[in-house]
Structure 1
Amino acid sequence: MLRQRVITAVLLAAGLVAGVLWLPGVAFAAAMLGVILLGAWEWGRLCGLQGRARRGLYVTALGAVALGCAQSVFVQGLIWPVALAVLWWPLVVAGLTVYHPGHPLLQGPRRPLLFALAGGLTLIPAWLALVWLHQVQPLLVLYLILLTAGADTAAYFTGRRFGRTRLAPEISPGKTREGLLGAVLGTLPLALLGMWALGVTPRLGVYFVLLCLVTVLVSVAGDLFESVLKREAGAKDSGTLLPGHGGVLDRIDSLTAAAPIFLAGLIWGGFVAR
């Protein structure tokens, strides 16, 4: 299993770096849309859309909405499809604090509809943000991935060594508050690395470090939210597409939350033009 995980991880990393650095803008957007739609297929199964026809319809509808939002963002210059995520993720965080298995809001026939809508609010802004960041500078995409992956790794090892207090026992019993602290501390050197690599001036340094911290914290919420989806579906992984790693959603759950927040912070701070 470990060998399989390592081989899959190396292949994914190599393909990701090559795609980000060498694909032109339109090709990168198309490739990322393909990843998002694979995630949407898994999301449809987890939220209770039974049968290939229903899930196919969901993926098609989500793809059509994504392309319509792209038209609004990249042709008409509107920002609201990405800005929705700035409202959406605080709502998710608030929901995570009160969630418990069997919550009345998530029972009955409304559950598939609510989770299907949540899929659109999660996946579409993430795709738009990644495409936007790539258009500005491909290095921003790689840095964001490094930031979320580095924080996740720091949280894992810190939690294994020092973890005592569970962060969200009703959602993901393996995550601890000590691990979260490790993620925050691990973000600091990555933020300093980002300042140097991206040419952030000292005057904006504190803002950039805080943005990185907020991005990492929101990425944890993305991970926990997918855990809620899997728990409600009674599934261990979102899929089986990636040997040793589960499904596509299992690999991009943190990134889907982090990307639009990171982009919004860059726009707000004046690093990226609207």
Structure 2
Amino acid sequence: MFKQRLLTALVLAPIMVGGIFFLPLKPFAFFIAAIATLGAWEWANISGFERKWERVGYALMVFLCMYISARILRVREDLLIYWLAAGALWWVAAFALVRRYPGGTDIWQSRPIRAFLGLCVLVPMWVGFMHLKVQEHSSWLIIYVMLIVWGADTGAYFAGRRWGNTKLAPHVSPGKSWAGFWGGLVTSVVVALGFAYSLNLWVKPLDGRDVVIVLMIALITMVVSVLGDLVESMMKRHRGIKDSSSLLPGHGGVLDRIDSMAAAVPVFALCVYVFGWSLA
């Protein structure tokens, strides 16, 4: 299993790095849309659509929603805040669903509602990535949100192994603990301070307000990234499956790799927008 995971990671890593950091805007849009579409194909199964034509149809519908979003936002950039705010509001609602589970499933257990929730996860992620991509020093912003998510995962893993006796959401994901949550939070603070120092050194001088914004964005994004993982775990547990698919040998499916990022990116982009924060 470890060898499989390693080989898959060695193949995926250069593809992801090249796609995220070196593609121009339009190819980048299709690159992220392709990832989201694969995620949609998996979400269809999580929603209870098992036939291949149903899953393909759902994936195409999600792609079409991203395309329509692109066309609208191209001529009405002022509407961007509504896409990002809708994505953030979904994660507020998701928190309530995770907290109530296994109760409250009557609200979202129908296949059409679960399919709709997939749109709430995947389309705002794409919009968030596109908003970051058009910013000055976009690579720095994308690196930052990825470091927050990866740092939180790493901190949670080690803190959870060492002190993880009290479970965070035992009915949803028994492996997650409060110690892991706090470990991830501390790691995110370290990442934020390191990022602020790097920006000050290589991009532009930062004042106290900038540092506070960097820290606030990290903390908010980290909390939401944990929620993204929990929501997918809840949906899979309700569906009775372990992985979203077997597309990535040793890693499960695409959703298993991007669940935290799908939650983090639109909220991170919303924070950048609301705080009016720029690296220009």
Per the shorter chain, which TM-score range?
over 0.9
Alpha-carbon separation, structure 2, partners of 1:70 and 1:118: 20
Paired residue for 1:171?
172
Paired residue for 1:62?
62
Paired residue for 2:120?
121
State the secondary structure of the residue aligned to 1:139: helix
Paired residue for 2:5?
5
Paired residue for 2:88?
86
Of 225, 233, 239 in structure 2, the residue corresponding to residue 233 of structure 1 is 239
Alpha-carbon separation, structure 2, partners of 1:233 and 1:181: 29
Alpha-carbon separation, structure 1, partners of 2:140 and 2:33: 19
User: Which shifted more, 1-10 or 20-29?
Assistant: 1-10
- 2:35 is equivalent to residue 19 of structure 1: no
Q: Is the 8 A contact 2:8 2:249 kept in 1?
A: yes
Q: Is the 8 A contact 1:73 1:81 kept in 2?
A: no
Q: CA deviation at 1:196?
A: 2.8
Q: How does 1:101-112 map to 2 (within 5 A)?
A: 103-107=105-109, 111-112=110-111
Q: CA deviation at 1:206?
A: 1.5
- 2:254 is equivalent to residue 252 of structure 1: no
Percent identity, please: 38
Alpha-carbon separation, structure 1, partners of 2:38 and 2:111: 18
Q: CA deviation at 1:205?
A: 1.1
User: Which shifted more, 144-153 or 165-174?
Assistant: 144-153
- 2:127 is equivalent to residue 135 of structure 1: no
Alpha-carbon separation, structure 2, partners of 1:227 and 1:217: 16
Alpha-carbon separation, structure 1, partners of 2:162 and 2:168: 15
Q: CA deviation at 1:159?
A: 0.3
Q: CA deviation at 1:269?
A: 1.2
Post-superposition CA distance 1:30-76 (Å, at most 9, x none): 01100000000000011101211111221111111111111222332
Alpha-carbon separation, structure 1, partners of 2:98 and 2:240: 18
Post-superposition CA distance 1:152-190 (Å, at most 9, x none): 111011101111100000000000000000000111110
- 2:277 is equivalent to residue 271 of structure 1: yes
Q: CA deviation at 1:219?
A: 0.4
Give the structure-2-normalised TM-score. Answer: 0.92
Q: How does 1:175-190 map to 2 (within 5 A)?
A: 175-190=176-191
Q: Is the 8 A contact 1:17 1:142 kept in 2?
A: no
- 2:221 is equivalent to residue 195 of structure 1: no
| Alignment gaps of 5+ in structure 1 | none
Q: CA deviation at 1:249?
A: 0.1
Alpha-carbon separation, structure 2, partners of 1:202 and 1:119: 39
User: Which shifted more, 195-204 or 2-11?
Assistant: 195-204
Of 213, 224, 234 in structure 2, the residue corresponding to residue 207 of structure 1 is 213
- Structure 1's consecutive aligned runs of 4 or more residues displaced over 4 angstroms after TM superposition are none
Alpha-carbon separation, structure 2, partners of 1:208 and 1:143: 10
Q: CA deviation at 1:143?
A: 1.9
Alignment-mate amino acid for residue 58 of structure 1: Y
Q: Is the 8 A contact 2:35 2:254 kept in 1?
A: yes
User: Which shifted more, 122-131 or 53-62?
Assistant: 53-62
Alpha-carbon separation, structure 2, partners of 1:112 and 1:58: 12
Q: Is the 8 A contact 2:97 2:104 kept in 1?
A: no
- 2:52 is equivalent to residue 46 of structure 1: no
| Alignment gaps of 5+ in structure 2 | none
Alpha-carbon separation, structure 1, partners of 2:33 and 2:261: 14
